[in-house]
Each structure stands twice: as structure tokens, then as C-alpha cells.
């Protein structure tokens, strides 16, 4: 089984000690986000095909990567770097620091180990389409040669996301909107052309209506093919997306919602930033579950 760690929270940035302990123990308990009893996931080497790490800051996770490497297991990193204004991203690391970490990972493990995420694309008075083009171009130029793929999606106005964005907009004096389809398509086409000019394929995460523009294809965020390349052998895995339009392979996620304290105004995984900060402070790094 492929282990996802985690699209629900940033384990490398905040929960690295916990992960190393769970890897040594060979098991982890995962709270069911939809109710019901918790699940238990084996992290024993014979039960794990590989890891997908999702993060905005890999620097605190050196021991975690070393522990996975010591077991001889492949891993890939979905690294989000957007460089948005602080009104939208309260406490993420700066773009230059993120780029430096990604280039260091490329030097350590090769370009196949890294996927850059410019995700989500939020159109606002602070970040209009022209701003995105210039910002994306600068990041793509800095990452040329470090990775071969960039994953994007246009921000979805989910109820939780819209509520958080509306609160941030009132606090910081900006506006945001869900662009019409033609505006989305035009922007995706321009970003795809920019990415291609820097040796990257632009893929779309769970947005089938935008696939095909300028040669774009669906993103495979949990990617058994990429992990097979890194392992030097084929992995036995099947496609099993977790929502409409998702092209991922089957995996088990070991994170928990409402536990990332980075304060991104558009985050779908956090309903209360204060609660997320409190959960981090209450976290037991020796516990069997990330959220206790």
C-alpha cells in the first residue's frame, strides 16, 4: 500500500518526530474524518510500497526522510510553493526558501522525487490573473531542472473555504471570486505554456473540465508510476481516486484534518486556524494517532 502523509495536514513541517516514531513502531492509528471507529494502518516495511509526502516546508523533516531511506522505500514529495501575499498565507515559508529546499531535494533524490504544486490558484484583488502569470513565471524559472511537473487547480468555493476566505477578506480589505469558465481556461493555458517553457508538464488536480487546455492532463498526485521509477521496480497499485476527477492510485492517508497551523485563508482542510494551532500545541509526538 502507498502511504499518503498527508493531504490533510503538513506532517513534514510539524509532525516529523511523530512520523519517525510511528515508522519505528510499524503502525499508526488514523481518526476517521467521517465518523466511526479509527483505522489502523501498518507502516511495516513489508506492507508499504512507498510514501507520498505533502508539504510547504521540508526542512524540519530531515530525520523522516532519512528513516524512510534507511528502510529502502521510495518516496516522492508534493511540495506546495505559491508565494502569495501574507493576507492569504499567514505563516508559510517564503518562496525563495521553498525553492532552495526543492532544489536540495532534487540534488538528493533526483527530479522524479519532486512535484511542485502551485495550488490552489486563487483569483482575488491581491492576486488577479496577470499577477499569477508573473508570479508563476518567476517560480517556474527558479525551479527549471529541479522538477518535471507542476500541479495546479483553481480554488473551489467550498463552504468551509468560502467562509474562511470571506473572513480574511474582511480583515485584510481584499475581495475574491470564482472566475467564469472562460477566464479559468485562458489562465490555465497561459500557465501551461510558461511551465512547458521551463521543462515542466502542467497537470490539473481533480478538475476534468480544464484538462486538455494547451496539452494539460489530469494530475496523479499519488503516483505509483513515479514511485516505481524511484524504486527501480514496478509497484502493484490500482487507480482509486478519492473524488470526482481524481486520477490517483490507491493509498492510505495517515494525517488529520484541522491540525495544520499555517493559516492559509483558502485551506479546505482547516475549519478554524485557532483550533489547528491548539491541536498542534496539544499534540503528543509519542501518541499512536497524530491528533491524539
Predicted structure pTM score: 0.96
- How is residue 71 written as a grid cell? 528502510
Contact 73, 228 (CB under 8 A): no
Contact 91, 273 (CB under 8 A): no
Task: Give the whole-angstrom CA distance, residue 273 versus residue 265.
Answer: 9
Task: Give the whole-angstrom CA distance, residue 81 versus residue 135.
Answer: 11
Q: What is the pLDDT along the chain (292 residues), one digit of tens a residue?
A: 999 999 999 999 999 999 999 999 999 999 988 777 889 999 999 999 999 999 999 999 999 999 999 999 999 999 999 999 999 999 999 999 999 999 999 999 999 999 999 999 999 999 999 999 999 999 999 999 999 999 999 998 888 889 999 999 999 999 999 999 999 999 999 999 999 999 999 999 999 999 999 999 999 999 999 999 999 999 989 988 778 889 999 999 999 999 999 999 999 899 888 889 999 999 999 999 999 7
Task: Give the whole-angstrom CA distance, residue 33 versus residue 257.
Answer: 7
Amino acid at each position: 500500500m502507498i502511504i499518503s502523509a498527508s493531504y490533510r495536514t503538513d506532517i513534514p513541517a510539524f509532525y516529523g518526530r511523530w512520523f519517525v516514531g510511528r515508522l519505528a513502531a510499524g503502525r499508526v492509528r488514523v481518526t476517521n474524518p467521517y465518523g466511526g471507529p479509527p483505522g489502523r494502518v501498518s507502516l511495516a516495511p513489508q506492507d508499504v510500497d512507498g510514501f507520498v509526502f505533502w508539504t510547504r516546508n521540508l526542512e524540519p523533516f530531515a530525520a523522516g526522510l532519512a528513516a524512510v531511506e534507511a528502510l529502502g522505500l521510495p518516496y516522492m514529495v508534493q511540495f506546495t510553493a505559491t508565494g502569495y501575499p501574507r493576507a492569504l498565507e499567514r505563516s508559510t515559508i517564503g518562496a525563495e526558501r521553498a525553492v532552495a529546499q526543492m532544489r536540495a531535494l532534487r540534488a538528493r533524490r533526483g527530479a522524479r522525487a519532486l512535484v511542485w504544486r502551485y495550488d490552489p490558484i486563487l483569483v482575488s484583488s491581491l492576486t488577479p490573473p496577470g499577477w499569477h502569470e508573473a508570479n508563476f513565471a518567476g517560480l517556474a524559472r527558479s525551479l527549471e531542472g529541479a522538477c518535471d511537473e507542476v500541479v495546479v487547480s483553481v480554488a473551489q468555493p467550498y463552504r468551509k473555504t468560502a467562509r474562511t476566505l470571506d473572513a480574511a477578506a474582511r480583515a485584510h480589505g481584499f475581495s475574491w471570486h470564482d472566475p467564469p469558465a472562460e477566464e479559468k481556461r485562458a489562465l490555465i493555458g497561459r500557465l501551461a505554456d510558461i511551465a512547458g517553457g521551463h521543462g515542466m508538464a502542467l497537470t490539473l488536480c481533480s478538475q476534468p473540465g480544464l484538462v486538455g487546455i494547451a496539452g494539460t492532463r489530469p494530475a496523479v498526485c499519488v503516483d505509483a508510476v513515479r514511485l516505481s521509477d524511484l524504486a527501480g521496480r514496478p509497484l502493484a497499485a490500482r487507480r482509486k481516486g478519492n473524488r470526482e476527477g481524481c486520477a490517483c492510485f490507491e493509498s492510505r492517508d495517515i494525517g488529520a484534518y484541522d491540525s495544520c497551523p499555517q493559516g492559509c485563508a483558502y485551506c479546505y482542510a482547516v475549519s478554524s486556524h485557532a483550533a489547528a494551532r491548539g491541536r498542534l500545541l496539544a499534540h503528543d509526538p509519542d501518541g499512536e494517532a497524530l491528533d491524539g
